[in-house]
Amino acid sequence: MINQVVMDGYIGKDLELKTTQSLKKYVTFIICQNRYSKVQRGYVGEWHHVIAWNKVAENLVANTHKGSKVILAGEQRVRKFVDKNGNRVAYEYIWVNSFDILTSQNEDIANSPSQNTNKQNMNNMEDEEPEVDRTIVEANKQDKLAEDPFNNQKEVQLTDADLPF
């Protein structure tokens, strides 16, 4: 079974190295990914919980800060438990095995990810194709097939919109 997650995003808070009772070091934090939403017609932040242990945790704390853009590689995990009110809770998180930093530590506040993200988002919004009403496209295809299903076979040019997936 393969459980491999690779994601990029911005660290949502300053990292604090913690230690368990058995003296293992760890860090927990959240990472924000920007994704385009056709419904909201813009970019939306998706937040993911992350945990890193031992040397990976130490390196993350030493080399990153709030707003750093990183690529994380690890596993997606779920911790299930019953809270103090008796409710069942499923807590999803990413267990980080390795990471890479995409922004330098010396970036000043003027070049923070929030401003870079807005510029990037404005550029990407122009690149997005408008949503096509597939019912109209399918109806037009059916009309053409009804007119000449097999008699005049010609080469059909397929586009991505024609694919079922």
Displacement of CA 90 from its chain's centroid (Å):
20
Domain topology for 5-127:
OB fold (Dihydrolipoamide Acetyltransferase, E2P) (2.40.50)
pLDDT value at residue 41? 85
Structural domain spans, the chain: 5-127
| Residue 18, token pair as written in the block | 């913690």
d(C-alpha 78, C-alpha 80), whole Å: 6
3-class DSSP state for residue 144? Answer: helix
User: pLDDT category, 103, cuts 50, 70, 90?
Assistant: confident
Q: What percent helix, strand, coil does the chain show, rounded to 5?
A: 25, 40, 35
Give me the count of residues in the chain: 165
In this predicted model, what pLDDT tens digit does every residue of 61-90 receive, in sequence order? 999 999 999 999 999 999 999 999 999 999
Higher pLDDT, 147 or 28: 28
| Residue 67, token pair as written in the block | 């707003």
pLDDT value at residue 8? 93
pLDDT value at residue 115? 42
In this predicted model, what pLDDT tens digit does every residue of 37-67 receive, in sequence order? 888 888 888 999 999 999 999 999 999 999 9
High-pLDDT (> 70) share of the chain, %: 62
